[in-house]
Structure 1
Amino acid sequence: MAPTRWGGIVPSSKVARERRTDGACIACLHCSNNSRHMPSFSSSSRVEAQPKPRLASFTVAIGILRAGIMTTLLKDLTIDTVAVVLRGTILNPGLTAPMAAAITWIWEPDTFGSRGLHVNLPQLRLAAWVLTAAGLALRLHEQLNRWTANNWTRDSTWDWDKEIVLITGGSSGIGATMAQELIARNPRTKIVVVDYVPLTWQPAPRSDVRYFQCDLSDKTAIRALCDRVRREAGNPTVLVNNAGLSRGFTVMDGTYTDVELTINTNLIAPFLLVKEFLPHMVKSNHGHIIHVGSMSSMMPPARIADYAATKAGLTALHEALQLELKYIHQAPKVRLTLGIFGFIRTPLFKGQTGQPAFLFPLLESGTVARRFVDTLYSGFGNTIYLPGIMRYVAMLRGGPEWLSRMSREQTQKIKVDYVGYQKVNSKTGRLETPGAGNTA
C-alpha cells in the first residue's frame, strides 16, 4: 500500500490514476514519469470556477445593504447611546453581581464547577467584582441625586386628568412638541400655551388646549395674562419656562432694545411667572416648575452674551428656589427641573455646529420634550444634561482656568447664526411682526 499525494492509500501493485481533462495526473506518486504527470497549477492550465451571475449580484447587493446599515448605525451612534448600553450591561449590578458570584464559586478548587476547568480565573473574578462595585456606586449616585433634589419626599398625588400645564413658547419647537407629547399620554390634561404667535400645530381631537397670546417682554402684559389664565383655565400645577429669543449681537453692537428684549423675555418673564403661580403650588404643596436652560450658561460663546447671561440667571433661579421651597415656604413636594442642553434643532437654530456628532449631536426637540415629560410623570424633579457629556463639560467651570478658557475658545469654530428672527419696532422697542415662534 502506498500513500497518495492527497493523503489517500492506493495499492502499490496497482497505481490509481485520475486524469483531468488536460491529461495531468493528480493522484499518482508511483507513476514512472512522475514529473510529467504531476498536476500543473500554472495560470495557463488552471481551471477556475467562475461565480454565477445571479450569485455575484446577490453578493454585491448584500454587501451594499450591510454597508448602508453600518453607515446608518454609525451616523446615529452617540456617546449617550453607548452609555445606555454600558449601564444596561457591564455596569448593571443585576447582571454583573451574579456573574461575579458564579466565577468566585467556580474558582474554588474543590467545587464541582472547577473540575476539569483549565482557565486562570482570578483576573476575571476581580474584573467582575470591580464592575459590580462601579455599577452599585453609579446607582447610589443617581439615587442620592434624585432624593436630594426632591427633599427626600415622594408626591403620589399627581393626577394627569386634573393637572394644568402652562408652557411658554408652545407654538413651535420644544414647547409645541412637549404639549403634543402630554396630550398623547393623556388628552384630558389641560394644556395652556402662551406665545407671541399663533399655534403652528393642530391640537388632537378631544384635547383641552388653551392658547393665550402674549408678548413676554412686556411685564404689564404678563400680569394681565396671569389673571386671565387663572380666570379661564385655573391655577397651573406645572409651569414650563421655555420661551426665549436671541438677537445675536456683541455687547458693543447690540442696542438697548436688543438687550432689554432678550433679558425681559428670557429671564424677567420666568421670574414674574414663578411669582404669579408659585403661591398656589406652595399652598397645596404640589407642583412642578421647569426651566429650559442652555450650555451657554456654563460656556458662553461670543455674540450671545445677553442670552447666555439669562440662561445663567435661570440656573441661579432654579437653585435658589430649591432652598426657598424647603426651608422658607415649607413646600418640599413642589418639584423643580432644570435642563442644560447643547444645540437643539428649533426655530432659534440656523447653521452648522461643526462639532463631532458622536460627542455633541444636534438634539431634536422631540428628544428634549420627551425627557421633560418623562420627568413630569416620574413625580421627581432633577437636572437634565443633554447630551450627557454636558455634565462633564460643566465641571470645567471648577477646573483650571486655562483649561476652561481653551474649551470656551473652541466655540469660535461653531458656524451658527445667532441672529434672531423677530422683528422689532424701532419706535416702541417691542416685538412687531410674529415670526416662526417665540420659542427656545
Structure 2
Amino acid sequence: MAAHSSIAPLSVDLLVKVLKGTIFHPFAAAMILLCLLALAMLWSALLAFAWATFVSLLCVASAVNQRIAHGIPRQVNLDEEVIVITGGASGLGLLVAKIYGMRGVTVAVLDINDMQDPENYGVSFYKCDISDYEQVKAIARKIEEELGTPTVLINNAAIVVGKLLLDLSVDDIQRTISTNLLGPFYCLKAFLPAIIRSGSGTIMNISSVIGHLGAAHLSDYAAAKAGLSAMHRSVSAELRESHPEIKTVLITPGQLGTALFHGVQTPSNFVAPIVELPEVAMEVVDAIDRGNGAMMGMPLRRPGNADFHREKCHY
C-alpha cells in the first residue's frame, strides 16, 4: 500500500469535489453573473445567466430525485439515538464509534475481537460473533435492556481471506460468507424490529466496489459483498412500502486505507484511488446526522474491468 501523504493525490473524486464547489455551485455561478453585469459585459452576462440557470436546475433535479428515491429525511436527535456498529473494534467502525462517542451519543460496538478501552471513547463494547444468530439475538436483547431501543444499525463487520479460489478451503468460504453476508442478515433480523418500534431509524450497510467488479484473490469477498448490496436494495424496497420512516444507506467504497486491504494494488490512482478512513467516516456520519437515505459510491467512478490484484498477503 502506498505511503500516506499530507497532500491529497489528484483523483476523480477530488476533481469532482472542486468542480462542485466552484463552477457547478449555484452560488458561484450567480456571483459570476453579478460580476459580469457589474462590468456591463452583457453578452457574457447572458451566457453566465444561462449557465447559472442550468446549474440551479441541476441542483433542483438532484433534490427532487433524492426526495423521490428516499423520501423525507427523518428527524435526528442525537441525545435519543442508540447506534449499533458491527466490526467497531478497529478500522472504519472504530473511527465512527469514536466520533459519536465523543459527541455523547449512545453507541454499542459489536466485534468478535476485543476493543481496547471502550470507556475512553464513551462507547459500550459487546463481544459478539455476528455469524452466530443466537449470539446476535442475545446481544440485541442485552443492548436494549442496558442502553435503550436501537435506532441506527451500521453493518460494517467484514473479513478478507485473500486466496485464489482453488486455494480457499470450505471453511474459508463459509467464514467469509457467514461474516460478510449472513452476519448483516442476522443483525437486521435481530435489530430491525426494535428500530421499527422506535418509530424512526437508519439502516446502513457498508458494501464494497469489489462486489460489483470482482478481483483476483477475493472471489469469496466479492460474492459476499455483491449479495450484501442486493440484500440492501431488497430491504430498502420493503421498508419504503411498510416503514418509510426507516431510512436505508448503502455505501460502496473502493479500496480502504486499512490493514484489511494490505497488499491490494489499485489499477489507477486517478479513477480508483485508495479511500481514506476519515473520508468514508465523514460520509457515514453525515448521512446519519441528516437522516437521509442514500446510495453512495466512493470513489465516484470505477474502472471498467477488475484489475485489482493482491501481492503476497497473509491473514
**Partner amino acid, structure 2, of 1:264:** S
- Equivalent residue, structure 2, for 1:194: 110
* 1:240-255 pair list within 5 angstroms: 240-255=154-169
Residues 73, 293 of structure 2: 8 Å contact kept: no
Q: Between the two structures, name the one with larger relative contact order (CA 8 Å, sep ≥ 6).
A: 2
The offset of 1:202, in angstroms, is 4.8
Choose which of 295, 306, 312 in structure 1 pairs with 2:226: 312
Q: Deviations over 1:283-317 (max 9, x none)?
A: 33301111001001110012211111111111112
* 1:135-146 pair list within 5 angstroms: 135-146=55-66
Change (3 A) 1:354 1:387: closer
The TM-score, its normalising length taken from structure 1, stands at 0.65
Residues 130, 187 of structure 2: 8 Å contact kept: no
Q: Deviations over 1:355-396 (max 9, x none)?
A: 433332212222211210111111112112212224xx5xxx
Structure of greater Rg: 1
The offset of 1:130, in angstroms, is 4.8
SS at match of 1:363: coil
Q: Determine whether 1:216 maps to 2:137.
A: no
- Equivalent residue, structure 2, for 1:228: 142
The offset of 1:255, in angstroms, is 1.5
Q: Distance in 2 between matches of 1:362 and 1:275?
A: 33
Change (3 A) 1:225 1:72: closer
Q: Distance in 2 between matches of 1:417 and 1:293?
A: 24
Structure 1: tracts of 5 or more residues without a match: 1-70, 107-112, 115-120, 394-403, 422-440
Structure 2: tracts of 5 or more residues without a match: none
The offset of 1:125, in angstroms, is 4.5
Q: Determine whether 1:154 maps to 2:99.
A: no
Q: Distance in 2 between matches of 1:76 and 1:288?
A: 33
Residues 167, 193 of structure 1: 8 Å contact kept: yes
Residues 344, 365 of structure 1: 8 Å contact kept: yes
The offset of 1:174, in angstroms, is 0.3
- Equivalent residue, structure 2, for 1:93: 26
* 1:378-397 pair list within 5 angstroms: 378-390=290-302
Q: How much identity, in percent, do the aligned residues show? A: 29
Aligned residues: 311
SS at match of 2:204: strand
Residues 81, 150 of structure 2: 8 Å contact kept: yes
- Equivalent residue, structure 2, for 1:83: 16
Q: Deviations over 1:229-274 (max 9, x none)?
A: 2233232111010001111223333121111111111111111111
The offset of 1:418, in angstroms, is 6.2
Residues 118, 124 of structure 2: 8 Å contact kept: no
The TM-score, its normalising length taken from structure 2, stands at 0.88
Q: Determine whether 1:132 maps to 2:132.
A: no
**Partner amino acid, structure 2, of 1:388:** L
Change (3 A) 1:352 1:243: closer
* 1:271-310 pair list within 5 angstroms: 271-310=185-224
- Equivalent residue, structure 1, for 2:120: 204
Q: Distance in 2 between matches of 1:294 and 1:133?
A: 36
Change (3 A) 1:354 1:283: closer
Query: Which structure shows the higher helix fraction?
Result: 2
Change (3 A) 1:265 1:199: same
Q: Distance in 2 between matches of 1:270 and 1:89?
A: 39
